[in-house]
Each structure stands twice: as C-alpha cells, then as structure tokens.
Structure 1
Amino acid sequence: MQVINIARFVFFIALPTGIALFPTTSFSQQDVATKQGKEINLKEEISNLLTKRALITKELESLKKNQAHEHDLPDIEIYIKAIDWLVRTKDFDQKDTFKKANFIADQGIARALKLQNNQKPWLSTFNTPQARAYRSAIDNSLQAYAIIYPKDFGLIKTKKYPLHLVLHGKNEKLNEVNFLYENRGDKPLSGDQDFIQLSIYGRGNNAYRWAGETDLNEAIQNFTEQEKRQGRDHLIDSARFVVRGFSMGGAGTWHLGLHQPDRWCVMGPGAGFTTTHGYAPNLPAKLPDQQEACLSIYDAYLYAENAFNIPVVAYSGEIDKQKQAADIMEKHIKSFGLPIEHLIAPGLEHKFPPEWQQKAFAAYAPHIAKGRAPYPEKIKFVTYTLKYAKCDWIEILGLKKHYIRSRVEGSFNGKSYELQSENITKISISLPSDKSKSILPSKSIAMVFDGQKISATPILVDGAMKIILEKDDKNIWSMAATKPGVNKAKVPGLQGPIDDAFTKVFLCVTGSGTPWNELAHQASLQELERFKKDWELFFRAELPVKKDSMVTTKDLESKNIILFGDGGSNSLIAKVLPMAPIQWNKSSILLKNKTFNSAEHMPALIFPSPFSSKNYVVINSGHTFRTEDLKGTNALLFPRWGDYAILKISPAMPMKTELQESGIFDEFWSLTEQPK
C-alpha cells in the first residue's frame, strides 16, 4: 500500500460567488496517508467533504436570491471557508481533522436548510457557544467569531448585559475547522453566566496586532449590528465591556486594554508579554533606530500610565515564565501611583485553571458593576503614535515627533477645561452629549491649556460638538483653522509605518507595462508573492490583487493602494511618484543626499495617497516582518523598515535583497532625523 506525501498535492476547488478560487487535486486509487496511527484515504475523505461543501454551496446560491438573507449568509459561508482553507493549507495531520471537518460541514448544511425556512437558531440559542462570521472590510474575507449568550438573555426587557471580549492564546493547531468545532454549541454550559461572551478568532495567531486587531473591532461591530437587526441591541451595556485573555490572549489584552482604555470597564490579562526586549529571543541589545522607535507601537509597558483610565486585574502562575509580563506592568503602573490587582496562583506554571478564573471574575465584578463613566472628569493619556490617539473626550490630532512619549492630562469641572500636554501639536476635545448633566455655555468655553487661558468656540464635526486647538511654532495654542485644505501632516489613521497599511481595506496592484529595470521588477514581484503566501497562511485570507489597467476610480478613492513594480511597469507608480517623499527614475533613486542605482536597487515606502485624503499608497512592500517572524513568537511582529527602505537586489535565484537604508519620515512625510 502506497503512503502519500501530502506536500506534493495541489488542490483546485471551485468556490461560490464572492469566495476566492484556488487549486484542488486529482487522486489515484492508491493515495493513502498515515495519520494518528491510522491509514486515511485522502481521496475518499476529501471527496466526502467536497460533496458536503457542494450541498452548502447549492443552498447558498438559492439563498442569495433573497436579499432578506444578505446579513445572515456569512454565518453559513464560513463553513465553506473552513473546508477550503483546510485543503488549501494541506492541514490534514491534526488529530480527528476529518471528523471535525465533517461535523462542521454538516452544521453548515443544517444552517443553510434552516435559513431556507427563515429560521436562524444560532441567533437565539443561549448558554452554549454559537459560531458566527462576517466579511472583513480589509480584504472581503470571511472571518469567524463566537458568541455565548446568558441563559436568561432577553427575558427581562430592562436588563442590560456586560460584553466580555475573550482573546485566545497561541495555538499552532488553530484553524477555521477547529475554531468552528470548538464553538459547535452541541452542549449547554455547566454553569450560568451573567454576561455575553464574544470569543475572538483574530485571524489566527498574531497577538491581535495589525489585521488581528482590526478583527476584534470588526467582530464587535458585526455582533452589535446583528443584535440591532434582532431588536436586542439595547440589551448590550456599552459601559461594561471587558477585555480578557490568557497567554497570547494576555498579551493582546495588555495592548488593547492600554491602547484603547476608554473602551473597557476593566481589563483582565493573564500571562503574555508586555515588552519585546527581554521576551523575544535572540534580539540584539539595540535594534536599528527605526525598529527601536517602532517597538513603541505595541510595547505595552510604555502605556502603563493609561491604567489611570481603566482598572487592571492581572493573573499569573507563580512559576510561569510569562509572569514577567505582569511583574513589569505592576512595576510601571505603580510608579505612577496607580493601582493594579495581581492575582498569583501558588505553584502554578503556565495555566489558568477554573478556580482561578472564578477568582479573577470576582475581582472584575466591582469594576463591571460600576461601569465606565460616560464623561470622566479627569483623563491621563499617553501614546507614542497617532495610531492610538483617543481616550474618552480627548483625541490627539498631531504630534511634534512620532515614537516618543506624548501625553495629555485633562480635567473638566462641568463648565471649563484644564489641560497639560507633552509633544502634542493638535488636539480635539469632544463636548458632553445632550444626555450629560453638565451645563456648558452656548458660545464659548473657558479653558486653560499648558498654562495659557483660552476662550474656545465649539464647532460641529461629524455630528458632535468639538473644540479643536493647534499649537504654533511659538508654542501658543489657538483655535485650529477650519478652512479646507490639503493636510500634509501625519494624522490619526495616516501616520505609518508601512505595516499599518494592512489594517484597513487595501488593494495590491501589479503593472502591465514595460519595466524600467527587469531585476528590480522581478524583485518586486517576488515580494508580492511572499506577501501573498504569508497573508493566506497567517492572516487567513486571499490577498486582493489587480492589474493597474483594472483598477477603478472607486478603488483609488476608497482603499490603501499597494503598488508593485516601477514607473515603467506600473502606471499608478508613475502617477504617484511626483508626490512621493523620495525621487526615483529609470536610472537612480535619490534619498536625502544619497543616490542608488535603480538597476540594482528597489525602494519600498508608504505615504498619503494622492487619490484619497484618508488612505495610503505603499510601494513594493507587504508586511515588513517576514515568514520566519510569523512562525515564531508574536513579539516579533514589529515593523522592520519604518516608513521607507532602500533594498539592494542580488541577481541570484531566488533573488535576495539587502537593506541599505530605512527610516521614518517626519511629521510632514519628509526626510529628517530619526526619533530619539
């Protein structure tokens, strides 16, 4: 009997409308794999799965004809995605893979048949996990999450429930099949819970960074929108959101809790990591300047003072190596005179057993009961980047310099504001809503900002009354100009680095013209191919790609545009180069006072899109961390190049690139000194 080598198979499966196409295979009668001590006939197993997949597809095609089902289709399509990605990634070697895959395929069929009869039991089954899904705005991919409703959900019309966001730990075996199977909902919970639980898939194992962070935001949005359609959104208490997790989920909780402290009434990190140096193995004591600067994006310990705005209940096993995370945070949080509760389980390693989970719940309880204040009287907020710029009624709109400590402290007494700031050049203050008991003057508001007295007039911005102030080069604060104009400064959502472009909707674009230089052109296509593979495996989606000739005006106006090639091969690169922060033509690349030969070098960079005021253009780069970093500890998922890089290309096959220059553009997307 022949034992197959799974790695040699190429699969081609025709997917339904809206789901990407990819390969599947043909099998001989003798194709057999040995798994878990058993001989598995892959042809038979995959054939069975594809038969069930076809049944789901058939029902979906019928359901799509009824627009009333539009918002429910992802909850069925996700089962097709799970089967397809299992085959696409050849992930057959886990225990009971086909048993689980067949179970969830049957569940997908059952859901489709139920929806044909206008039934949605997964939206009204309580006290047991129910898998759900949405289409991501980033790349139109299907992404899963899971919900557990309390047993008494909705029975008391006036009762509102906290929402717990639960972040899973790193699991090398995690895929869509396993996630759906774990949340199959075939058994009720053994005990009662008094909260809604939203379990995040997070696009796999990325510590809820980059697109993994967007996944959490999109899952919350999808869930709340679905509840609104069910007429139940009033049952969700937005003042009592909890974020918690263990291990990698603990790392995610540290970063999400402290980066977005105004979203949660309490954060519950268990283990994880809070710093790159000292956790990620084999790093040099000092990284290149732009990498050291960009560590401040995700190193949670730098944001410790934000614990002023959110209660922290940490958990560690006494002899767990990852206890280091909470120890570091405890030291830094207490250095600001702020409280932190650190539960330590004696004699335990890297475990979070049920009895200690119950102790953590008990510690969360008073904070959940209190909830968040709708308009806090005082805020202390620290950031290092405009990627994380908001806390309650304060939003930072400009920094003097990125990746150094930036801080604002504000207080409100019901009539006036007092603020102090560091490294901030522009700020927005949102006034209390109509529901607030505070009484404010109708025309002007008294303020003291960095010791300067200001009489500020609120303006209507996006449906809310705000005061927007900016600082001039003499450090004098005044009302910001309201006249429309081209904003050339870094602003929230357009601050870089390159990796930030892949956290919202983007489109990769290849050229259809003649390259300036064939070597550099091939190097750019090799980078695109590497990015495709990484996005598929580690961010669980098909990379969106078009030829330049197929890009629409709508694409340019609504998406981050990721361009591969050069000014000869890619017509869009030719269009944006006059607005780029560097100079690049057929013969040379000019960066500051250095010139590089275009035949042997390739630039990679990010800058604001000339096609849209809200989006980026990126040239010749996907994520700047690499496949080996994605396979390793999540702490390695930090930017390698900052905002730009010049790469020297080796003609050997496969081509290799050597970093020559890299760095960070200044606050006006120009080339100046690096952050210190």
Structure 2
Amino acid sequence: MTNESYIMLSTLSACTTGALIFVATTACFAQRPSDQKVAELQTGLQQLQTQVDELSQRPELQKRDGRAQLADVAVFAKAVEWMLRHNEFPQKGYADQAARAIEIGLQRGKELQAKAASWETRPGVTVRGYFSRIDGSVQPYAVTLPEGVNPLSGDRWPLHLKLHGRADKMNEVNFIARHEGKPLPKDQTWIQLDVYGRGNNAYRWAGEVDVFEALADVRRRFRIDDDRITLHGFSMGGAGAWHLGLHYPAMWSSVGPGAGFVDFYKYQNQTEQRPPWQHETLGIYDAIDYAMNAANVPVCTYGGENDAQLVASTSMVEAAREADVDIKLLVGPGMGHKFHPDSFKEFMAFHKEKSAAGRRRGMGRPEIRFTTRTLKYNQCDWVTIREVDEVYSPSTVEAKIHDDGTITIFTKNVAALSVDRNVGASVVIDGDELPCRTAADGLLPDVFYRMSTDGWEVLGYEDSRSFSGNPDLHKRHNLQGPIDDAFMDSFLCVVGSGKATEAADNRWVDWTFKRFENEFDKWMRAKLPVVADADLTDEQMQASNLILFGDADANSVIKKMMPHLPVKWTEDEIIIGDKSFSRADHRVSLIYPNVLNQMHQRRTGTSGPLRYVVLNSGHTFHEKDFKASNSWLFPRMGDIAVQKVTRNGDGSYSEEIVWGANFDSEWKLR
C-alpha cells in the first residue's frame, strides 16, 4: 500500500459511520444540548459520513481537483464529529451551528453526486477543506472571492492572508458559522484567505503548516499573484503575523501584525532563565530575534494606546531600529485591545499600497539582510543558509548584487550556503572571490558554497549533488530538531507488538502514547496516524517521520534502530555519552535522523528527503500549556532529554526533566 493510499484511508476512516468515537475531555459543557438534540446531530452526521464514503469511491474524485471537491464536503463531517467527540458546546447556539454544517455538507454532497459544485467560484465567503500531509486529516479554511474570479482566465489576483485572534470557544463548526455564506465586503477587490490554523496555537507547529497548506490549496484552485500576498492578523493573529512574516520574509508584499506577543520572557513576565535546552529553542519562535528581517519586507504594526500588548509593537520597532531597519508603527489613541477605526483605515491603506506595487523577487531584490536562529527558517529570496556552526545561535547573511554583476556576501555563524546561480557572475563571501553563474558546470539551479579550513570554497557538480544528499547527516533544513519539529510534516506513530522487559516501562509508554493521542486529537484537531511495528513498510518509512513507542524488546523497529542511536540500555541503566541513569525511574526521549531511511535510499538508489525518528514522545508541551497561553507552546525537551518519572495513584505519571540537550550541527552531543 502506498503512503498516499495509507493517508487517504486513514483520513476517510474518520468519515465512516463506524468511526464515531467520542473521547472524554475537559471540554466545556456550559450549554450542552439535550440528549435528543445530540442524537439528531449523530444521525445527521452518520448520513453525511455515509455520503462522503460513497463519494470517495468515485474515480474522478481521486484526482487532484476531485480530492479538493471531496475535501469541501468531508470538512463539514469532520467539524461536527470533532464537536461531538470532544463535547464542545460552550455557548447556546452551537448545536444549531452543527445542524447547519450538516445541512451544508449534505447539500454539497448532492451537488457532487450530480457532478456539480456551485460553491467553487461563488462570490462572497465559502468554507473549503484540504487533506493535510501531516496526518491525512481534513482541515478547514475560508476563502472570500470577489466578483469575476475565473480560474480558467489568465487574470492573477492579489491575496490577503488573515490570521484570526485567540478564540477559545471556536471549533471547526463555529469557524464555519463565522464565515460560510457571508457576503462579499464592499469594495473588496482581492481574494482573502482566512485560515483556521488548527485552532489556537499562534500558528505554531501544525498550526503553522496549516497556513501554508491552506495557501497552497488556494493557489491550486485560483490564480494568485505571488508578488501581491499580504499577511496580517490581530492579537494571536498578530503574533502569528510577526512569526510568519519575519521567518518567511520573502513571501509577502507586506506584513501587518496587530497587538501580538514577540518575546516569551517579557510577555510572561519571566525573570528566571529557562534550562539551557529550552532557552536555546525559544529562538525558534521569539520574533524579537528576527527583527532585522523586516529589511526584506514592508511591515506596518499596530497597537492600542492603552493596550498592554502595545509593548510588542514598540519592542519590535526598537529592535529593528537597532539593526537600522524601519517598521511603521500605528498607535490607536485611547484604545485598548482593538483597532481604532482611523488607524485601521491607515493600516489597510499601507497594505493596499504595497500590494499594488507588488513584491520584487529574485534578481529584482538586489539586497538581502537576513537572520535566523534555526535552519527551519533558512531562506530569503536568492540566498539559503544550508548549515551553521553553532545551532540556535544567530546566523546572519548580508548580501548585495552590484551593477557589475558581482555579489558580496558577509556571514556570521554560517558553515554552508547556496545562491541562485542567475543572480551574478561571481560572488565574494567574507572576502573570498568565487564563481557563481558558471559554477558546477552551470547544471544546477543553486550554487553551493562551504566553509573549509582555508576559507570559502565553491562545490563542483558531483560535490553539489553529494552535498544535497546530506551523506554525513549534518543538521539541515527540516532535519534540525527539536523533538516537536517531527510533527510539522508527515509522521507515523509506530507502536510495539511485544512487551517491554519491565512492566513499569510498558505502563509509562502506554500512558505517554495515550496522552499524546488525546492531546493531538483535541488541540491539533486530528487523529494520530498509527501503525504496528510488524506492519510498517519501507514506503511508509521513506514518506514519514517515525514516532516509536516502546523499547527494543517491545518494538522491533526500535530494535533495528538501536545500533544507530546515541543512547544505550543495559539491564539497569540508560547510558548517554558519559552519563547514566537508573532504568527503574528514568525514561529517555529523543529525536534523531532516521539512519534506516538513509540506508534504504543508498541500497535502492532512490532519493528523497531524510526523515526523523522520535523515541517515546509526542509534543513536549501539554494540555496545561495549550490552555494557558500560546506563548507556552515551545519545546521542553530539546533534541534529547531524560525524565525522572513517578507513578501516581490514578495511573498517571509525574515527570521531571533531570537532563536535556540539543545536539550540535553534526547531531552529536556537545
């Protein structure tokens, strides 16, 4: 079975009558409807799920465009199923919203059965769906179409990508109710994408991927002008705009963050520094560390005069100024945590002006000033940071194209980089002059440069091909950790068919897996993709990050992986480098390159992205962090950690991280 087929079956299994599994959670029952109303919703959902099942068997709906139409129906079933399984009825009227979602889904299903889809180019707001590569789930977004949008014409439309604020009572059903069927706003001449972001996570982790998967789905359906994409949001959406705007500065014609946090320590009034492995990884998301990247994209930020979150905007403006970069700041006079009407007009006028001008891309961007704390975010226009010397330390590239066709680049904490070969004839990196356009026989789109003991060197064709394959398993983009990064791409939980030697290990592993299963289902809005160790295929291993639960006795995949992991088990101890911990009350979790994945590619002569393996961990932050604040959704265990565990009377566990670390740039312990 192909990985695509596996994902499809996993996704559609959530849309079958037999898949109605209701998980007990801590959801709000404040306005729980009557048992009769719940029964009516269950009956309606079963009808809709049956309809989706029947549609999924139609060959034309297995093709790309057909899958999009199928997702546009299945997303309504998913919305109601998740409301019921988590008992999410926080306010009066949510049951009616669910009934309306079922009604819309059934109507769309009937249209598809008749090979029609009236909603596809209808002006105004409609909710759409897509199947996520992360876990195969169907996720919603809303799109607003102006009059005259025709995917078959040559017209390309500007797009506004809008990020919602934190809304604890908003689930998929309520998201649908807020958007579906709303009229086109007066004078709107752009397509608008409102993302769901998998709920309330400040567009981190799967929430971040949701933004780009929804954007990709809109691009597949409509002709979008990639030089005229505006990103903006308010409150949590503002935090998301800071994050996505400055981590991906080459994507937007302008960025508009309103009243969103940018600095964990300041926002949470933290005076004590987190443990080193956590402190380092805060640099993944603290937007304050990326202020210089506003040199690459116009930014207009807003805060109310009396809003405590105004400090986020003023802090970013000051940090950017220190880097000799300007950010436009609007302050709403006398306002709290909302837009002043006049400020909003000025805010939107700024973005309309930048959209009209369009973004200068590629060689049209003669100067780049880019910084990052992680190889996860490593590219700006025609320059890509490939490797760094010190992980989670600032890496910077300042590059300029000169009139004579030469490029000058100054770097800090960069061990390897690449340049689009078309931007210049030659390049001078930190004083070392090297060829560009003719390098590597002119055969590859990017020219690779690597720091050696003698300075910067350019790679030839064969070395460039080898470099791209990452034969030495260095930290690279999407292979840089920490543990939580494994859940930003296709992943598959592999559970053991056997039993661990120690019963205590079995109990903790089972509890850890169940906690991850419940938390991901509730807070990331999807079912975990799971396979037994005996059923794992080579194809699945190549297509997904593997999340392994158990030990070498319980899980045959862990047994195969053991010789390649930086941890050893004896009968009594866990050994990591020169450290040892008692197995009686300690457990280890880690992320590491999947060496079996690489060995398979070498053996079969195939290529593809290298994957992670994770041992005994889901996300390293938990339910209390999701409930508290989005700013708490940062990695707790880095790349590897040992926890002391104590079993509680109710069967749960108390965990204390007694040691943690982040591997260096070569995936070794420092």
Q: Normalization by structure 2: what TM-score?
A: 0.90
C-alpha contact (below 8 Å) 2:197/2:210 kept by paired residues: yes
3-state SS, counterpart of residue 471 of structure 1:
strand
Q: 1:467 to 1:114 in 2, by over 3 A?
A: same
Q: State the partner residue of 2:192.
A: 197
1:419 corresponds to which of 409, 421, 427? 409
- Contact 2:590/2:617 (8 A) holds in 1: yes
**Secondary structure at 1:182 match in 2:** helix
Q: Which residue of 2 aligns with 1:3?
A: none
Matched, 1:246 2:246: no
Query: Does structure 1 residue 327 correspond to structure 2 residue 320?
Result: no
Q: State the identity as a percent.
A: 35
Aligned equivalents of 1:446, 1:405: Cα separation in 2: 26
Change (3 A) 1:579 1:312: same
Cα distance, 1:34–1:529 mapped onto 2, change above 3 Å:
closer
- Structure 2 match to 1:217: 212
1:346-385 to 2 correspondences below 5 Å: 346-352=333-339, 355-375=342-362, 376-385=365-374
Find the residue that maps to 2:416 and give its secondary structure. strand
Q: Is the 8 A contact 1:507 1:562 kept in 2?
A: yes
Aligned residue runs from structure 1 range 164-175, under 5 A: 164-175=160-171
CA contact (8 A) 1:558 1:612 kept: no
Describe the superposition over 1:102-155 as per-residue Cα deviations: whole angstroms up to 9, x where unpaired: 1111111111111122221211111x2100001110000110001001124349
Q: What is the rounded CA distance, in whole Å, between the counterparts of 2:316 and 2:265 in structure 1?
A: 14
Counterpart-to-counterpart distance in 2, 1:483 and 1:115: 46
Hey, what does 2:44 align to over in structure 1? 52
Describe the SS at the equivalent of 2:415. strand
Contact 2:620 2:635 (8 Å CA) reproduced: yes
Query: Match of 1:509?
Result: 494
1:459-478: CA deviation from partner (whole Å, max 9, x where unpaired): 489x9521101001344433
Residue 641 to residue 57, structure 1, CA distance change in 2 (3 Å)? closer
Match of 1:66 among 58, 72, 79: 58
Match of 2:203 among 199, 205, 208: 208
Cα distance, 1:152–1:482 mapped onto 2, change above 3 Å: closer
Q: What is the match of residue 29 of structure 1?
A: none
RMSD: 2.2
- Provide the secondary structure at the position in 2 that maps to 1:332: helix
Q: Secondary structure of the equivalent of 1:120? A: coil
Residue 135 of structure 1: aligned partner = 131
The partner residue of 1:667 within 655, 665, 670 is 665
Deviation larger for 646-655 or 658-667: 646-655
Q: Find the aligned partners of 1:280 and 1:95 in 2 and give their Cα distance.
A: 33
> In structure 2, how many angstroms separate the alpha carbons of the residues matched to 1:544 and 1:157?
39
**Matched residue, 2:562:** 577
Q: Does 1:394 align with 2:380?
A: no
2:278 and 2:151 map into 1 onto residues whose CA distance is 53
Distance 1:15 1:626, change over 3 A: closer
Q: For residue 40 of structure 1, report the CA deviation from its aligned partner.
A: 4.3
Q: Please give the secondary structure, in 1, of the residue aligned with 2:400.
A: strand
C-alpha distance after superposition, 1:424-461 (max 9, x if no partner)? 000011133xxxxx7x6xxxx32211011113443489
Residues 132 and 15 of structure 1: CA distance in aligned 2, closer, same or farther (over 3 Å): closer
State the distance in 1 between where 2:441 and 2:96 align. 57
Alignment correspondent of 2:173 = 177
Among 85, 90, 102, the alignment partner of 1:88 is 85
Mark the CA change 1:467 to 1:582 in structure 2 (over 3 Å): closer, same or farther: same
Which letter maps to 1:595?
S
Q: Describe the superposition over 1:535-558 as per-residue Cα deviations: whole angstroms up to 9, x where unpaired.
A: 011100011122211211111111
Change in 2 beyond 3 A, CA 1:17/1:520: closer
- Give the equivalent residue in structure 1 for 2:605: none
8 A contact 1:517–1:598 mirrored in 2: no
Q: Is the 8 A contact 2:389 2:414 kept in 1?
A: yes
Q: Deviations over 1:185-206 (max 9, x none)?
A: 1x42341211110001000000
Q: Which runs of 5+ in 2 are unaligned?
A: 1-9, 599-609
Q: Which amino acid aligns with 2:410?
A: Q
The aligned residue for residue 636 of structure 2 is 640
Residues 592, 571 of structure 1: alpha-carbon distance in 2 compared, 3 angstrom cutoff: same
Q: 2:655 aligns with which of 630, 642, 657?
A: 657
Superposed, 1:117-136 pairs within 5 Å as 117-126=114-123, 128-136=124-132
Q: CA contact under 8 A between 1:151 and 1:192: conserved in structure 2?
A: no
Shift of 1:159: 4.3
Helix, strand or coil: the match of 1:23?
coil
Residues 290 and 664, structure 1, Cα contact 8 Å, conserved in 2: yes
* Counterparts of 1:377 and 1:477, CA distance in 2: 23
Q: Which residue in the other structure is 1:315 paired with? A: 302
Contact 1:643 1:664 in 2 (8 A): yes
1:503-542 superposed Cα distances (whole Å, 9 cap, x missing partner): 0000111111231322123212211111111101110001
- Is the aligned partner of 1:612 residue 2:597? yes
Q: 1:145 to 1:40 in 2, by over 3 A?
A: closer
Q: Tell me the distance in 2 between the aligned counterparts of 1:658 and 1:173.
A: 32
CA distance in 2 between counterparts of 1:106 and 1:251 reads 35
Match of 1:129, SS state, is: strand
Structure 1 residues 570 and 253, CA, compared in 2 at 3 Å: closer, same or farther?
same
CA–CA distance in structure 2, aligned partners of residues 196 and 337 of structure 1: 34
Query: Displacement of 1:596 after TM fit?
Result: 1.3
CA distance in 1, matches of 2:164, 2:290: 22
Question: Out of 252, 275, 278, which is 2:263 matched to?
Answer: 275
Q: Secondary structure at the match of 2:638?
A: coil
Q: Aligned equivalents of 1:34 and 1:665: distance in 2?
A: 44
- Structure 1 residue aligned with 2:96, among 99, 102, 105? 99
In 1, distance between residues paired with 2:170 and 2:615? 32
Cα shift readout 1:269-310 (whole Å, capped 9, x = no counterpart): 0001000001125x3421111111111000001000001100
Q: Does the 8 A contact of 1:516 with 1:567 survive in 2?
A: no
More displaced 10-residue stretch of structure 1: 324-333 or 189-198: 189-198
What is the TM-score normalised by the length of structure 1?
0.89
CA contact (8 A) 2:331 2:343 kept: no
Which sections of structure 1, spanning at least 5 residues, go unmatched? 1-13, 26-32, 228-232, 433-437
- In structure 2, distance between residues paired with 1:15 and 1:47: 24
* Separation in structure 1 between the aligned mates of residue 382 and residue 371 of structure 2, nearest angstrom: 14
Question: What is the rounded CA distance, in whole Å, between the counterparts of 1:35 and 1:386 in structure 2?
Answer: 44
Q: Deviations over 1:7-44 (max 9, x none)?
A: xxxxxxx996454724259xxxxxxx9966xx9422x1
Matched AA of 2:367: K
1:534 alignment partner in structure 2: 519
**Matched letter for residue 550 of structure 2:** G
Relative to structure 1, is the Cα distance of residues 24 and 290 closer, same or farther in structure 2, using a 3 angstrom cutoff? closer
Q: What residue in structure 2 maps to residue 602 of structure 1?
A: 587
Query: Does 1:525 find its partner at 2:514?
Result: no
Alpha-carbon distance in structure 1 between the residues aligned to 2:46 and 2:440: 56
Kindly provide the amino acid, as one letter, of the partner of residue 545 in structure 2: N
Farther off after superposition, 173-182 or 543-552: 543-552
How many residue pairs get aligned? The number is 628
Cα offset, 1:363, TM superposition: 1.3
2:595 alignment partner, SS class: coil
Partner residue in 1 for 2:575: 590
Are 2:125 and 2:144, in contact at CA under 8 Å, matched by a contact in 1?
Answer: yes
Offset from partner CA, 1:54-98 (integer Å, 9 cap, x none): 332333333233222332111000111111101100112322011
Aligned to 2:603: none
- The structure in which a higher percent of residues are helix is 2
Taking the aligned partners of 1:15 and 1:194, their CA distance within structure 2 comes to 35
Is this contact kept in 1: 2:447–2:458, CA < 8 A? no
Residue 47 of structure 1 aligns to a residue in which SS? helix
C-alpha contact (below 8 Å) 2:572/2:582 kept by paired residues = yes
